Chain A
Amino acid sequence: DAKTTQPTSMDCAEGRAANLPCNHSTISGNEYVYWYRQIHSQGPQYIIHGLKNNETNEMASLIITEDRKSSTLILPHATLRDTAVYYCIVRGVMNTGFQKLVFGTGTRLLVSP
Protein backbone atom coordinates (compact mmCIF):
# COMPACT_ATOMS: atom_id res chain seq x y z
CA ASP A 1 0.00 0.00 0.00
CA ALA A 2 2.94 2.30 -0.72
CA LYS A 3 1.74 5.75 -1.69
CA THR A 4 4.86 6.72 -3.60
CA THR A 5 6.54 5.94 -6.91
CA GLN A 6 10.30 6.08 -7.35
CA PRO A 7 12.70 5.05 -10.12
CA THR A 8 14.25 1.68 -9.50
CA SER A 9 17.82 2.87 -9.86
CA MET A 10 19.94 5.92 -10.58
CA ASP A 11 23.60 6.66 -11.15
CA CYS A 12 25.58 9.69 -10.06
CA ALA A 13 29.20 10.75 -10.40
CA GLU A 14 31.10 11.43 -7.22
CA GLY A 15 31.08 15.12 -6.35
CA ARG A 16 28.01 15.88 -8.40
CA ALA A 17 24.53 16.53 -7.09
CA ALA A 18 22.24 13.53 -6.85
CA ASN A 19 18.59 14.39 -7.47
CA LEU A 20 16.21 11.62 -6.49
CA PRO A 21 12.58 12.07 -7.58
CA CYS A 22 9.46 10.76 -5.91
CA ASN A 23 5.85 10.90 -7.05
CA HIS A 24 3.09 11.00 -4.45
CA SER A 25 0.11 12.19 -6.44
CA THR A 26 -2.46 10.99 -3.90
CA ILE A 27 -0.89 12.76 -0.92
CA SER A 28 -3.40 14.46 1.34
CA GLY A 29 -3.11 17.82 3.06
CA ASN A 30 -1.89 16.54 6.41
CA GLU A 31 0.62 14.02 5.13
CA TYR A 32 4.36 14.56 5.31
CA VAL A 33 7.04 13.33 2.93
CA TYR A 34 9.85 11.41 4.62
CA TRP A 35 13.12 10.18 3.17
CA TYR A 36 15.19 7.33 4.54
CA ARG A 37 18.16 5.52 3.10
CA GLN A 38 19.63 2.10 3.65
CA ILE A 39 23.30 1.51 3.09
CA HIS A 40 24.22 -2.09 2.38
CA SER A 41 24.07 -4.33 5.46
CA GLN A 42 22.83 -1.52 7.70
CA GLY A 43 19.49 -0.49 9.08
CA PRO A 44 17.54 2.33 7.41
CA GLN A 45 18.64 5.83 8.32
CA TYR A 46 16.41 8.88 8.53
CA ILE A 47 17.42 11.72 6.18
CA ILE A 48 14.80 14.46 6.15
CA HIS A 49 11.08 15.17 6.08
CA GLY A 50 8.78 18.01 5.04
CA LEU A 51 5.18 19.08 4.60
CA LYS A 52 5.08 21.74 1.91
CA ASN A 53 8.06 24.00 2.38
CA ASN A 54 11.48 23.08 1.13
CA GLU A 55 13.72 21.71 3.84
CA THR A 56 17.47 21.46 4.26
CA ASN A 57 19.66 19.80 6.82
CA GLU A 58 23.25 18.66 7.03
CA MET A 59 22.54 15.60 4.93
CA ALA A 60 20.28 16.76 2.13
CA SER A 61 17.67 19.13 0.77
CA LEU A 62 14.05 18.29 0.11
CA ILE A 63 12.17 20.13 -2.61
CA ILE A 64 8.39 19.66 -2.64
CA THR A 65 6.35 20.91 -5.59
CA GLU A 66 3.67 23.49 -4.96
CA ASP A 67 0.89 20.98 -5.61
CA ARG A 68 2.74 18.53 -3.33
CA LYS A 69 2.32 15.71 -5.81
CA SER A 70 6.02 15.14 -6.15
CA SER A 71 9.30 15.86 -4.41
CA THR A 72 13.02 15.64 -4.99
CA LEU A 73 15.71 14.70 -2.54
CA ILE A 74 18.98 16.43 -3.32
CA LEU A 75 22.38 15.28 -2.14
CA PRO A 76 24.43 18.33 -3.13
CA HIS A 77 27.84 16.66 -3.42
CA ALA A 78 27.43 12.91 -3.59
CA THR A 79 30.21 10.73 -2.23
CA LEU A 80 30.83 7.02 -2.61
CA ARG A 81 29.38 6.54 0.87
CA ASP A 82 26.04 7.83 -0.38
CA THR A 83 25.56 4.65 -2.41
CA ALA A 84 22.39 3.21 -0.90
CA VAL A 85 18.71 2.52 -1.42
CA TYR A 86 16.67 5.68 -0.88
CA TYR A 87 13.08 5.41 0.30
CA CYS A 88 10.45 8.11 -0.11
CA ILE A 89 7.56 7.64 2.33
CA VAL A 90 4.31 9.52 2.84
CA ARG A 91 3.07 9.67 6.40
CA GLY A 92 0.22 11.46 8.16
CA VAL A 93 0.19 13.39 11.41
CA MET A 94 -0.41 11.82 14.79
CA ASN A 95 -3.83 13.32 15.42
CA THR A 96 -5.20 11.12 12.69
CA GLY A 97 -3.83 8.10 14.49
CA PHE A 98 -0.30 6.78 14.65
CA GLN A 99 1.03 6.46 11.15
CA LYS A 100 3.16 3.44 10.49
CA LEU A 101 6.36 3.85 8.51
CA VAL A 102 5.70 1.81 5.35
CA PHE A 103 8.66 1.25 3.05
CA GLY A 104 8.28 0.77 -0.69
CA THR A 105 10.98 -0.52 -3.01
CA GLY A 106 13.01 2.69 -3.10
CA THR A 107 15.64 3.94 -5.54
CA ARG A 108 19.02 2.26 -5.64
CA LEU A 109 21.56 5.07 -6.02
CA LEU A 110 25.02 4.15 -7.23
CA VAL A 111 27.69 6.82 -6.83
CA SER A 112 30.72 6.16 -8.99
CA PRO A 113 34.22 7.66 -8.96
Chain B
Amino acid sequence: DAGVIQSPRHEVTEMGQEVTLRCKPISGHDYLFWYRQTMMRGLELLIYFNNNVPIDDSGMPEDRFSAKMPNASFSTLKIQPSEPRDSAVYFCASSPDRGQVNTEAFFGQGTRLTVV
Protein backbone atom coordinates (compact mmCIF):
# COMPACT_ATOMS: atom_id res chain seq x y z
CA ASP B 1 0.00 0.00 0.00
CA ALA B 2 1.48 3.35 -1.03
CA GLY B 3 -0.17 5.16 1.83
CA VAL B 4 -1.88 8.53 1.55
CA ILE B 5 -0.60 10.35 -1.50
CA GLN B 6 -0.60 14.11 -1.72
CA SER B 7 0.32 16.34 -4.61
CA PRO B 8 2.09 18.54 -5.20
CA ARG B 9 4.72 18.24 -2.47
CA HIS B 10 5.62 21.89 -2.84
CA GLU B 11 3.65 24.77 -4.29
CA VAL B 12 4.71 28.37 -4.67
CA THR B 13 2.11 30.78 -5.95
CA GLU B 14 1.42 34.47 -6.11
CA MET B 15 -1.14 36.15 -3.94
CA GLY B 16 -4.55 36.11 -5.56
CA GLN B 17 -4.00 32.93 -7.51
CA GLU B 18 -6.09 29.80 -7.11
CA VAL B 19 -4.39 26.85 -5.48
CA THR B 20 -5.59 23.25 -5.57
CA LEU B 21 -4.13 20.58 -3.33
CA ARG B 22 -4.83 16.94 -4.06
CA CYS B 23 -5.10 13.81 -1.98
CA LYS B 24 -5.53 10.13 -2.65
CA PRO B 25 -6.49 8.29 0.56
CA ILE B 26 -5.66 4.70 1.36
CA SER B 27 -8.01 2.36 -0.46
CA GLY B 28 -10.88 1.19 1.71
CA HIS B 29 -10.62 4.00 4.23
CA ASP B 30 -13.91 5.67 5.08
CA TYR B 31 -12.65 8.90 6.63
CA LEU B 32 -10.58 11.62 5.04
CA PHE B 33 -9.15 14.62 6.86
CA TRP B 34 -7.48 17.84 5.81
CA TYR B 35 -5.12 19.48 8.33
CA ARG B 36 -3.05 22.62 8.18
CA GLN B 37 0.19 23.11 10.11
CA THR B 38 1.89 26.40 10.90
CA MET B 39 4.45 27.40 13.49
CA MET B 40 1.99 29.71 15.19
CA ARG B 41 -1.07 27.48 15.32
CA GLY B 42 0.31 23.97 15.10
CA LEU B 43 -1.79 21.23 13.49
CA GLU B 44 -5.38 22.28 12.85
CA LEU B 45 -8.17 20.14 11.47
CA LEU B 46 -9.85 21.98 8.61
CA ILE B 47 -12.50 19.53 7.43
CA TYR B 48 -13.25 15.83 7.37
CA PHE B 49 -15.31 13.54 5.18
CA ASN B 50 -17.05 10.24 5.89
CA ASN B 51 -17.86 8.12 2.87
CA ASN B 52 -17.18 11.10 0.60
CA VAL B 53 -19.61 13.36 2.47
CA PRO B 54 -18.29 16.44 4.31
CA ILE B 55 -19.18 16.04 7.96
CA ASP B 56 -17.50 18.91 9.76
CA ASP B 57 -15.98 21.94 8.07
CA SER B 58 -15.89 24.13 11.15
CA GLY B 59 -12.12 24.37 10.90
CA MET B 60 -12.12 25.90 7.44
CA PRO B 61 -10.80 29.40 8.08
CA GLU B 62 -12.68 31.37 5.43
CA ASP B 63 -14.92 31.08 2.43
CA ARG B 64 -11.81 31.21 0.31
CA PHE B 65 -11.22 27.61 1.35
CA SER B 66 -13.26 24.77 -0.12
CA ALA B 67 -12.87 21.00 -0.16
CA LYS B 68 -14.45 18.29 -2.23
CA MET B 69 -14.40 14.53 -2.37
CA PRO B 70 -15.98 13.45 -5.66
CA ASN B 71 -15.20 9.78 -5.06
CA ALA B 72 -13.63 7.47 -2.51
CA SER B 73 -10.17 7.76 -3.97
CA PHE B 74 -9.74 11.50 -4.46
CA SER B 75 -10.13 14.76 -2.60
CA THR B 76 -9.14 18.35 -3.25
CA LEU B 77 -8.60 21.39 -1.08
CA LYS B 78 -8.90 24.64 -2.97
CA ILE B 79 -7.93 28.15 -1.92
CA GLN B 80 -9.25 30.96 -4.07
CA PRO B 81 -7.91 33.60 -3.91
CA SER B 82 -4.77 32.67 -2.00
CA GLU B 83 -3.13 35.03 0.48
CA PRO B 84 0.35 35.04 2.07
CA ARG B 85 -1.14 34.01 5.43
CA ASP B 86 -2.28 30.75 3.83
CA SER B 87 1.33 29.66 3.65
CA ALA B 88 1.57 26.43 5.60
CA VAL B 89 1.98 22.69 5.28
CA TYR B 90 -1.31 21.01 4.41
CA PHE B 91 -1.74 17.38 5.37
CA CYS B 92 -4.30 14.91 4.20
CA ALA B 93 -5.05 11.84 6.31
CA SER B 94 -7.37 8.86 6.08
CA SER B 95 -8.63 6.22 8.46
CA PRO B 96 -10.84 3.15 8.28
CA ASP B 97 -14.13 2.75 10.11
CA ARG B 98 -13.96 -0.18 12.51
CA GLY B 99 -17.02 0.49 14.59
CA GLN B 100 -16.89 1.96 18.06
CA VAL B 101 -13.20 2.46 18.55
CA ASN B 102 -11.63 5.37 16.77
CA THR B 103 -8.92 4.00 14.57
CA GLU B 104 -5.56 5.47 13.79
CA ALA B 105 -5.23 8.05 11.06
CA PHE B 106 -2.62 7.69 8.35
CA PHE B 107 -1.11 10.92 7.14
CA GLY B 108 0.36 11.88 3.81
CA GLN B 109 3.69 13.63 3.42
CA GLY B 110 2.01 17.01 3.12
CA THR B 111 2.01 19.87 0.65
CA ARG B 112 4.15 22.86 1.56
CA LEU B 113 2.34 25.92 0.25
CA THR B 114 4.07 29.27 -0.06
CA VAL B 115 2.04 32.26 -1.17
CA VAL B 116 4.17 35.27 -2.11
Query: Bound pair: A and B?
Result: yes
Give the docked Cα–Cα distance between A18 and B107 (Å): 24
Shortest distance from the beta carbon of B108 to any chain A beta carbon, whole Å = 6
- Given A100-B45, A105-B42, the answer on whether A44 and B102 have CB atoms closer than 8 Å is no
Contact in complex: B50, A95 (CB < 8 Å): no
Majority-rule SS of A interface residues: loop
Task: Tally B residues with Cβ within 8 Å of A.
Answer: 23
Shortest distance from the beta carbon of B60 to any chain A beta carbon, whole Å = 14
Proximity bits, B85-108, A CB within 8 Å = 1, else 0: 000000101000001111011111
Contact in complex: A43, B93 (CB < 8 Å): yes
Proximity bits, A34-45, B CB within 8 Å = 1, else 0: 100000011111
Find the residue from B33, B55, B104 having the highest chain A CB count within 10 A. Answer: B104
Contact in complex: A43, B104 (CB < 8 Å): no
Contact in complex: A94, B42 (CB < 8 Å): no
- A100 interface neighbour in B56, B100, B106, Cβ under 8 Å: B56
CB-CB contacts below 8 Å: A7-65 with B: 32, 34, 41-46, 49
- B104 interface neighbour in A42, A49, A103, Cβ under 8 Å: A49
Shortest distance from the beta carbon of A28 to any chain B beta carbon, whole Å = 14
Give the docked Cα–Cα distance between A45 and B107 (Å): 7
Give the docked Cα–Cα distance between A31 and B74 (Å): 31
- Given A42-B109, A105-B42, the answer on whether A99 and B102 have CB atoms closer than 8 Å is yes
Contact in complex: B42, A93 (CB < 8 Å): no
A108 in contact (CB, < 8 A): no
Which of chain A's residues have a CB closer than 8 A to the CB of B109?
42-43
24 residue pairs A–B, Cβ–Cβ below 8 Å: A32-B101, A32-B102, A34-B104, A41-B110, A42-B109, A42-B110, A43-B4, A43-B91, A43-B93, A43-B108, A43-B109, A46-B105, A93-B101, A93-B102, A95-B100, A98-B31, A98-B55, A99-B102, A100-B48, A101-B33, A101-B102, A101-B105, A104-B42, A105-B42
User: Using a CB–CB distance below 8 Å, which chain B residues touch chain A?
Assistant: 4, 31, 33, 42-43, 45, 48, 50, 55-56, 91, 93, 99-102, 104-110
User: Using a CB–CB distance below 8 Å, which chain A residues touch chain B?
Assistant: 32, 34, 41-46, 49, 91-95, 98-105
